[in-house]
Homo-oligomer: A and B are copies of this chain.
């Protein structure tokens, strides 16, 4: 007899499960229910729609071929009921009570295997004013349409509450549309789960340079109104007020677990649905995938909540395979996330330094700004790469990128290498594709890996921006040695009384001007000359010679520069 498969959720993991299963099993009775009126929409495309990079609303729904119930029936071969909500899972009877939201009718749908692909919803905090006109979430294309319409009609001051990935993408869209944009982030840095402090600060500097106001370190406490039901701003818990005629709630998403909880299925420590590596819940006849489940981090083995469209699609395939008896495992995720804000390409994979340290790793890190393509190719841009490695095993633990250059390509290389447990030499040895239009003879990420190798081998002695900032804030006696040419030095650099200029090619003759016993930290523009000068000084017996990681190009704290 044909197997009855019921899938709750019609956006990503749900339709993917159904489509794959249909291809595996021509006889299975596959039904998808979705409470919304939109199916399989391009949720990740919504910021691009607001920005007007995508001009046609229908593109979010499949473009020329709208992915509606008819499409899935005719092209993919399974049944979809939209505007149909699952009210209750009856595990004993193996049915789900569903309600047609148009007619209000309820009925019980039977299943042999049930799939929960209920997704995640934007978190709406309990605060005053979330019901006001002008306050938006960004969950489905209807929301995107409402926001875009508001911008089209002249809304000009936007407050984005939440400086995470969605907050960043949405912020970029508003700036591109000419809106005065503020981002409120309760933590001390933007995208705190994805980027380490100094990288987040570099991103913040970029956004500020584009006119964005960043309000950090205190949560949004209430949305202000004009007395007529319209939002006019946001007030933070510490009393700062951000004016705005539109407020976007982008505080994060929460897995939709109500059905699972009510059915007594196990919920994980991350508050998402717990699944085994076959994506089965605690009831072996019920699978779950997509944004409602927790994932295993392949590096740490820890559970994490990392809702992403790419993962949802992988889940759908694995669930279908398992329902079909193929015993397919989903190994987990690598902690990868990438996002675009205006012209900045940002990403992370693996562990942040902060996370790695919290897990007890003895980390060694580096920050290197490098061209994405050969410098003589017009359009070549910098990407700033931070690598995090384990000093003991030399294993690559994490990679973060930032800048106008193509850093995301390097995230993919790092994600692949991390998956296979590569050490930093493994990265340096890779035979990556080199032509001037695509990279440099030593690819940016391989350069970074070489720097980390130099550090681990005790050849390069780096000082991180955070470390130097602490020194600059202290009374510590050291020399901050600008080894650029005199004209470069005079045009700008660090402003601190401990700064001294000694061009690289003069060190050989002038090193006796430097004290042997003091710490000397060299810097240049991107770090190439600073490292060479550190090696020269080390060779000349300056035992405390170091250089600044990433130098001026990657220096996050602009107030220290002149």
Please give the residue numbers on chain A whose beta carbons come within 8 Å of chain B beta carbons, in ascending order.
12, 22-27, 42, 44-45, 48, 53-54, 59-60, 63, 74-77, 169, 298, 308-314, 317, 326, 330-331, 333-340, 345, 347, 349, 374-378, 408-409, 411-413, 415-417, 419-422, 426, 428-439, 441-443, 450, 457, 459, 504-505, 508, 529, 531-532, 535-536, 538-540
Are B338 and A436 in contact, with the CB atoms below 8 A? no
A-B CB contact pairs (8 Å), 16 listed: A12-B441, A22-B535, A26-B538, A26-B539, A42-B374, A44-B435, A45-B374, A60-B376, A74-B505, A310-B439, A313-B442, A334-B431, A338-B438, A409-B409, A416-B422, A417-B420
B residues in contact with A75, CB < 8 Å: 504-505, 529, 532
Minimum CB distance partner of A434 in chain B: B310
Q: Which of B45, B349, B450, B504 contacts A436 (CB 8 A)?
A: B45
Q: How far is the CA of A438 from the CA of B337 in the complex (A)?
A: 11
Closest-CB distance, A412 to chain B (whole angstroms): 5
Q: How far is the CA of A42 from the CA of B335 in the complex (A)?
A: 37
Q: How far is the CA of A293 from the CA of B102 in the complex (A)?
A: 73
Are A535 and B338 in contact, with the CB atoms below 8 A? no
Are A44 and B409 in contact, with the CB atoms below 8 A? no
Are A429 and B535 in contact, with the CB atoms below 8 A? no
Number of this chain's copies in the complex: 2
The 8 closest A-B pairs by CB, nearest first: A26-B539, A338-B433, A420-B420, A334-B431, A310-B434, A74-B505, A59-B376, A416-B416
Closest-CB distance, A380 to chain B (whole angstroms): 11
Q: How far is the CA of A505 from the CA of B70 in the complex (A)?
A: 11
Are B438 and A340 in contact, with the CB atoms below 8 A? yes
Are A42 and B436 in contact, with the CB atoms below 8 A? yes
B residues in contact with A437, CB < 8 Å: 48, 340
Minimum CB distance partner of A534 in chain B: B23
Q: Which of B169, B345, B426, B432 contacts A310 (CB 8 A)?
A: B432
B residues in contact with A313, CB < 8 Å: 441-442
B residues in contact with A334, CB < 8 Å: 430-431
B residues in contact with A436, CB < 8 Å: 42, 44-45, 48
Are A419 and B429 in contact, with the CB atoms below 8 A? yes
B residues in contact with A349, CB < 8 Å: 431, 433
Minimum CB distance partner of A538 in chain B: B26
Are B435 and A338 in contact, with the CB atoms below 8 A? yes
Q: How far is the CA of A232 from the CA of B532 in the complex (A)?
A: 52
**Known contacts A298-B431, A310-B441; is-contact A53 B377 (Cβ 8 Å):** yes
B residues in contact with A422, CB < 8 Å: 416, 420
Closest-CB distance, A339 to chain B (whole angstroms): 5
Minimum CB distance partner of A298 in chain B: B431
Q: How far is the CA of A364 from the CA of B439 in the complex (A)?
A: 31
Q: Which of B23, B54, B441 contacts A309 (CB 8 A)?
A: B441
B residues in contact with A538, CB < 8 Å: 26
Are B431 and A335 in contact, with the CB atoms below 8 A? yes
A317-B428, A338-B433, A338-B435 provided; 12 other pairs, C-beta below 8 A? A23-B535, A309-B434, A310-B439, A310-B442, A313-B441, A336-B432, A337-B433, A340-B438, A347-B433, A416-B430, A419-B429, A419-B431
Q: How far is the CA of A505 from the CA of B539 in the complex (A)?
A: 75
Minimum CB distance partner of A428 in chain B: B314
Q: How far is the CA of A22 from the CA of B377 in the complex (A)?
A: 29
Q: Which of B340, B345, B540 contacts A26 (CB 8 A)?
A: B540
B residues in contact with A408, CB < 8 Å: 433, 435, 438
B residues in contact with A434, CB < 8 Å: 44, 308-310, 336, 338
